[in-house]
Amino acid sequence: MPGGLGSRILYWLEIPRFLKTVVTLPLRLARHWPKRRTARRRIPVIVVPGFGFTDRSTLFMRRYLRRCGFDAQGWGLGRNMGRRTIGLHNECAIEAVERRVREAGRPVALIGWSMGGIVARMVARARPELVTRVVSLSAPFTGNPYANRAWPLYEKVARHRLDDPVASRQIARSKEPTPVRSLAIHSRSDGIVASDCCVETELPRTTNIEVRAGHFEIGFKPSVLRLIADELAPLAA
């Protein structure tokens, strides 16, 4: 299988695992929900949804981070339809971050889920002065671009072939580490993308953390959200 993509069993288990996580959230929250704000300053955070999803998909994550004291907001661009939403050269995504930086009066931390992580990394690479941190969740930003089960749908819906010259250049650049500190959270039990394609190059400013989670449940697991809050905590000290 390309790039370490897992078995089809993991793919078919994605929805059942997601539903189980959502159903058991009350029990998990009893152990992991923040009891008080841990951030001293309200650091601005933008959460970028995955391909085909809107800010509604990141609502729980943003509520958790706000509970920790971070000023977490959605990206405000509606449904993430790839190039049709972010622009051919990510100009719409960059403009959204620029607006947030102007409102906050300081650079922002970017959190991206799946394709949202790729978008966050591209923005940080293009405009590093706007970004303090990048956190990606199951984002296949390196390795084989076809090592996931979503690429046929992406090409059809986004109207953007992965072997297109512009896309090929963007994919090549996405393999490079971002100029700002980054955390890549990945899972070998992901049924949609290959975990090997979600791992950052080992550098002093990069961190990789492996968790056990499906692609659709990873953003709802309080233990994973705790990792994100811990990564952002130094910014608010």
pLDDT band at 189 (very low <50, low <70, confident <90, very high): very high
Structure token digits, residue 134: 């990048």
Structural domain including 13 reads 5-33+42-235
Question: Where residue 213 sits, what CATH number does that domain have?
Answer: 3.40.50.1820
Of 2-6, 152-156, 162-166, 189-193, give the lowest mean pLDDT range: 2-6
**What pTM was estimated for this model as a whole?**
0.92
Give the model confidence (pLDDT) of 111-134 as tens digits.
Answer: 999 999 999 999 999 999 999 999
Distance CA 237, CA 232 (A): 9
Helices (H) and strands (E) in the chain, counts: 9, 6
Mean pLDDT, the chain, integer: 90
d(CA 14, CA 215): 7
Residue with tokens 């951030």: 39
How confident is the model over 135-159, as pLDDT tens digits?
Answer: 999 999 998 888 888 888 888 888 8
Backbone φ and ψ of 191, nearest 5°: -95, 0
Domains contained in the chain, number: 1
